Amino acid sequence: MPPTRARTWTKKRVPTMNNFPSKETVERLRREYPAGTRVELISTDDPYTKLKPGDRATIRGVDDAGNILCEWDCGSALSLIQGIDRFQLVGDNITIIAIPPQK
């Protein structure tokens, strides 16, 4: 009988296995955030970025680690992490906010 795998949690309460999301989670992110989707930053905890709330980007895809790959209008290539960064989808009459769970 193979050993069972324990589900672990990071400090931000994002379910992971070896700090990577499951294949199902990555596939869900790819469906929710397809390439070409526009997003607007609400906030990020990254102390090194020059991005500010209101900056907009075009999603280029989602990598195998679940990072939402973005091409920012200002030239940055910072990826977003759902559940950590706060952002909203923007476009023709839509505004969907992705807000991380409260601490």
Contact 77, 57 (CB under 8 A): no
Residue 53 lies in a domain: yes
Identity of residue 80:
L
Residue 89 lies in a domain: yes
Q: Which two tokens stand for residue 75?
A: 């030239």
Number of domains in the chain: 1
Residue 12 lies in a domain: no
Residue 6 lies in a domain: no
pLDDT digits (tens, 9 = 90+) for 45-58: 899 999 999 999 99
- Size of the chain, expressed as the number of residues it contains: 103
pTM of the model: 0.71
Which domain does 87 fall in, by range? 35-103
pLDDT band at 103 (very low <50, low <70, confident <90, very high): low
- Pick from 20, 16, 12, 21: nearest CA to 44: 12
Residue 30 lies in a domain: no
Residue 50 lies in a domain: yes
Region 54-69: mean pLDDT is: 96
Region 50-77: mean pLDDT is: 96
Region 52-81: mean pLDDT is: 96
Phi, psi (degrees; rounded to nearest 5) at 63? -80, 175
CATH number (domain holding residue 83): 2.30.30
Q: Residue 79 has what pLDDT?
A: 96
